[in-house]
Chains A and B, each alone.
Chain A
Amino acid sequence: MENDIRIYVEEAPGQRRELEAPTDMGLSLMELLKANDYPIQAACGGMALCATCHVEVLAGPALPEPQDAELDMLETLPHVYEGSRLSCQIRLHPHTDGLVVRIAG
């Protein structure tokens, strides 16, 4: 599909799975990961209230800066990484084509 983009999930060091994602459905990265059976709980349903969809962005295009709600939740986690994000707050968009993430748990 011409609206599809590619997201890569690093399942192990150097081992990346390619996911094809539509950009015309208003999906978040969390929803895409859940749809592909990754162990994402997303207990709050995508409200940046539970941090159970934590990912580490490893490479790819620049993303919009996290908003306060996302930063507040990331603050509560015992461990974060330089690229830590809540996947529920990342909208799939043509500009996110080529994003590489790891499920951070």
Chain B
Amino acid sequence: MPNVISTDICIVGAGPVGLFAVFEAGLLKLRCHVVDALAQPGGQLTEIYPKKPIYDIPGFPEVLAGDLVDNLMKQIEPFHPTFTMGERVERFAKLDDGTFQLYTTDGTEIQCKAVAIAGGLGSFEPRKPAVENLERFEGGKGVHYMVRDPERFRGKKIVIAGGGDSALDWTNFLANVASEVTLVHRGTTFRGAADSAEKVQKLHEAGKIKLVLSSNVTHLHGNGHLQEVTITGNDGVAETVPLDAFVPLFGLTPKLGPIGEWGLGLENDAVKVNTLDYSTSTPGVFAIGDINTYPGKLKLILCGFHEAALMCQGAFKYIYPDKKYTLKYTTVNGVPTL
């Protein structure tokens, strides 16, 4: 049975703007469900720069990005939003009654009355090396861009590529799990955490892993499932290595992803909106924050907060076209609970 969730607004994106939209929706007594491809809320604030100070949030002369996310999470607590984390919304369907059904990569179905896209720069996806045939071996056929379950590699021959912290960390961890680990790095040194690099070096010297420096994985081979990779040195010398899994670990990079295929008006990879309520070309679907574009757009968190407030008014009117809405101030009414 697929996991089915029913809510008023589905917010696609758990970055600061998506989280604040939960608050604004809550003031209007609208329930929210939030979906994000990342495992934790906060979007790029959490993923890229949690320790970076931000100076242009009203009322905070200085706030660390991670602390801002923590505060936003606390601020929305009274509204009891629900979350689907680590899943990307793949597609949505608008039903005849004007409601929506959204479907995630993992089969979760969300039924909602309005959709608010707060996807930032898109979903964070693994940065892929330019290796021919890479896509052919994705989806359980030998190429893994992240290690979700290390046990999957127990007793297997794996080749890890990369020179950053995750490549070093997983090499060290999987050395005790896999039957054979080869780490391929295009450079000669590692600039990741010094102790991780040292551990890799020691494992190599002890013969527990293979370390191939100044080289890249250049070709993948296999019939249905990945069976061999070619590793080519910067000097042009190539060798073929048999394996069960290839794990390229080059970090994450934001991509617009499936949102670009939802039939919404786009301009330069951003969703065009009406600034009256940040509605898109599809009634009932709104876009706020860095993902939208309009004349005069500023990609600032505080602008996204403003957009979230106006968007919720628009969503309320879409969901309840016959209800009269009266603006209420939290100074007068406090924060209502759902």
Contact = CB atoms under 8 A, between A and B. Distances in A.
The 6 closest A-B CB pairs, nearest first, are A78-B129, A76-B164, A75-B191, A78-B250, A75-B163, A76-B251
Given A44-B44, A75-B192, A77-B127, A51 B52 contact: no
Nearest to A105: B253
B48 A43 contact: yes
Contact of A77 (B48, B49, B250, B268): B250
Given A43-B44, A43-B48, A49-B52, A78 B128 contact: yes
**Interface size band for A:** 20 to 34
A50 interface: yes
Q: Say what secondary structure dominates the interface of chain B.
A: loop
Interface in A35-74: 37, 39, 41, 43-45, 47, 49-52, 68, 71-72
B49 A47 contact: yes
Interface residues on B, range: 20 to 34
Given A45-B52, A77-B251, A78-B250, 8 more contacts: A41-B253, A43-B253, A51-B253, A75-B163, A75-B164, A78-B130, A78-B161, A79-B186
A40 B191 CA distance: 25
Interface of B: 44, 48-49, 52, 121, 127-130, 161-164, 186-187, 190-192, 216, 248, 250-251, 253-254, 268-269
Contacts of A39: 269
Contacts of B161: 78
Contacts of A52: 253-254
13 contacts: A37-B268, A41-B253, A43-B253, A45-B52, A49-B48, A50-B44, A52-B254, A72-B192, A75-B187, A76-B163, A76-B251, A78-B216, A79-B216
